[in-house]
Amino acid sequence: MLHPIVIPTIGVLLYFILIPNSFSSNQKFAVLGLIFVTTYIIPLVILILFKRLKLIKTFNAESIGERKIPIAMMIVLFYLLGNTIREIPNLSDIGMLFYATTLGLVFIYIFFAFKIKTSIHLLSLGITAGFFLVLNSLYSQNLIIVVICAFILSGLLASARLHLKAHTQREVYLGFVFGFISPIIVFYFL
């Protein structure tokens, strides 16, 4: 449930539930469908293809070398998704979410140069917390409970990632912090 490829769909679903909008149910389902296919199905197909081509050993893409090409592809995919959604009237907020995800993935890619395998799981929850904090300042609705829940889930997920020895503390913290600041940076500079 807290896998990085599921979080974008959950985030947009929460957006539609919590932020007042004029979209019909069919329009919401169409947007959710586009996001689900782009952020879940396509990455899954890419990982399966990479495994068959032996570009990655496991679906976890544990080494930095195995992560480089999938992350680069995701940067392009999320950027294009942000461009597409931003063109839809009244969905610029969701476009901002995907630009923030693009920026977060760029940070992850930059860390590769320093041999740091930053946590993508924590990046996604950090982006969620930062995104709803930005929405909280944009709209008169109180979304702090969503931000608090994202922080609590991040703590639980960070503990699990550390327990599994998937990351070091530094990698977990870097993932969350750079995820959290990405929507804030995008909001102030776009």
Q: Which domain holds residue 151?
A: 23-189
Cβ density class 87-104: b for 16+ within 10 Å, e for less = eeeebebbbbbbbbbbbb
Burial of 114 (0-12, 13-18, 19+ CB in 10 A): exposed
DSSP one-letter string for 166-184: SS-HHHHHHHHHHHHHHHH
- 72-93 confidence digits (pLDDT tens): 999 999 999 999 999 888 888 9
Secondary structure letter of residue 140 according to DSSP: S
Residue 18 belongs to some domain of the structure: no
Domain count, the chain: 1
CB neighbours of 79 closer than 8 A, spacing ≥ 6? 98, 99, 102
The pTM (predicted TM-score) of the whole model is 0.92
Residue 184 belongs to some domain of the structure: yes
Residue 177 belongs to some domain of the structure: yes
- If the chain, 190 residues long, is cut into consecutive pieces of 10 residues, what is the mean pLDDT of each piece? 87 93 90 94 89 79 80 94 90 93 97 92 96 92 93 93 89 96 94
Residue 157 belongs to some domain of the structure: yes
What is the reported pLDDT for 23?
87
What is the reported pLDDT for 166?
81
